Amino acid sequence: MSIEKVWVYAESEGDKPATSTLELLTKAREIATTVECVYVGDNADALAGVLGEYGASKVHAVSPGDALPGVIGAAALVELVGAESPGLILFAQTYDARDAAARLSVRLDRTVLTNGGELRLDGDRVIVGTAIFGGNTIVDTAFTGEKPYLAMIRPKSFAAESASGSAAPVATVATPDAGRAGEAKVLERHVEEREGPKLEEAAIVVSGGRGIGSAEAYGPLVDELAKLLQGASGASRAIVDAGWVPYSKQVGQTGKTVKPKLYIALGISGATQHLVGMKGSDVILAINKDGEAPIFSVADLGIVGDVHKVVPKLIEAIQAHG
């Protein structure tokens, strides 16, 4: 069986759809007869080609003006749901999508299942799988009650695959009255500066943990190795909580999920919440002076040694080979 209509709450990165949106479109094609997007932004026409390529048959676009995107998104969805009756709305587990999903859940009086990593149909039931206990157990939850069902899915849960579709037509939706919530305005936008690829999309990720010893060691060890490998630098929750690096670098259950071709863990013990965010990597290399560290249980390659001695030698060898 399939769901008659599934909507994906689309997000963008500049003039391109977010990778998480393309992942959701890929999964939606598997379970739905019709797949459409709802997008909050002023550049829907620029996204329509790629959204259509990945399976969207229509893009409902609404301009947020200077209001918060999640506020306008939820208000627009309330009106669209009444007119279009989708069976399921998928959101990526991102800041803006979480805001929209939470507000929509209240407005429609519908449960929203969050932090999903799996999505499938069982007959006419929609099942969301959620990892608990550090990813060691998957809990399956089935929706009941009135549609639309609302589900939030962690990025990197599915692979994004093109459907070779044509550009999706854009249907402009009038900006709704969001009431008092719409009075909050966006005054400034700050884009985080970075070198190299995004952490979630990098083919190589180098992450540091408390074993690197100090905040001052992060640059020479983690950042430098990541830069040489044309990868991205990440971190364990321990050093984020310690204030050594910003939250945007955190990998794990309460941070980002990454699935690079190569994941290098420097001085990371391997707490279960960290493993959830990186154990899907193709190859995991762990460097830790504690040979009993849990990280070695998931590592494909391991070096028992002091990162302050091993990593400089590794950097030196890479530089020597150009």
Is 70 exceeded by the pLDDT of residue 174? yes
pLDDT of residue 68: 93
Average pLDDT over residues 93-119: 95
Q: What is the CA radius of gyration of the chain?
A: 21
CATH number of the 199-320 domain? 3.40.50.1220
Average pLDDT over residues 176-193: 86
Share of the chain above pLDDT 90, in %: 82
- Please state the φ and ψ torsions of residue 69, each to the nearest 5 degrees: -55, -40
Is 70 exceeded by the pLDDT of residue 125? yes
Is 90 exceeded by the pLDDT of residue 258? yes
Share of the chain above pLDDT 70, in %: 99
pLDDT of residue 194: 73
pLDDT of residue 265: 97
Say which residues have a Cβ less than 8 Å from residue 206's Cβ, sequence separation at least 6: 222, 225, 226, 229, 231, 232, 233, 234, 264, 266
Q: Which of 18-27, 163-172, 188-197, 214-223 has the lowest mean pLDDT?
A: 188-197
SS3 per residue for the chain:
CCEEEEEEEECEECCEECHHHHHHHHHHHHHEEEEEEEEECCCHHHHHHHHHHCCCCCEEEECCCCECHHHHHHHHHHHHHHHHCCCEEEEECCHHHHHHHHHHHHHHCCCEEEEEEEEEEECCEEEEEEEEHHHCEEEEEECCCCCCEEEEECCCCCCCCCCCCCCCCEEEECCCCCHHHHHCECCCCCCCCCCCCCHHHCCEEEEECHHHCCHHHHHHHHHHHHHHCCCEEEECHHHHHCCCCCHHHEECCCCECCCCCEEEEECCCCCHHHHHHHCCCCEEEEEECCCCCHHHHCCCEEEECCHHHHHHHHHHHHHHCC
pLDDT of residue 322: 66
pLDDT of residue 64: 94
pLDDT of residue 310: 96
pTM: 0.86
Average pLDDT over residues 70-84: 95
Say which residues have a Cβ less than 8 Å from residue 195's Cβ, sequence separation at least 6: 227
pLDDT of residue 149: 97
Mean of per-residue pLDDT scores for the chain: 93
Conformational region of residue 282, where left means phi above 0, alpha means psi within -120 to 50, and beta covers everything else: alpha
Instruction: Indicate the Cα dihedral angle 198, 200, 202, 206, nearest 10°.
Output: 100
Average pLDDT over residues 143-157: 94
Q: pLDDT confidence of 176, banded at 50, 70, 90?
A: very high
pLDDT of residue 112: 96
Is 90 exceeded by the pLDDT of residue 133? no
d(CA 269, CA 274): 9
Q: Which of 29-33, 128-132, 171-175, 301-305 has the lowest mean pLDDT?
A: 128-132
Instruction: Give me the residue spans of the domains in the chain.
Output: 3-183, 199-320
d(CA 90, CA 7): 6
d(CA 291, CA 268): 12
Q: How many residues does the chain have?
A: 322
CATH class entry, domain 3-183: alpha beta
Is 90 exceeded by the pLDDT of residue 254? no
pLDDT of residue 182: 87
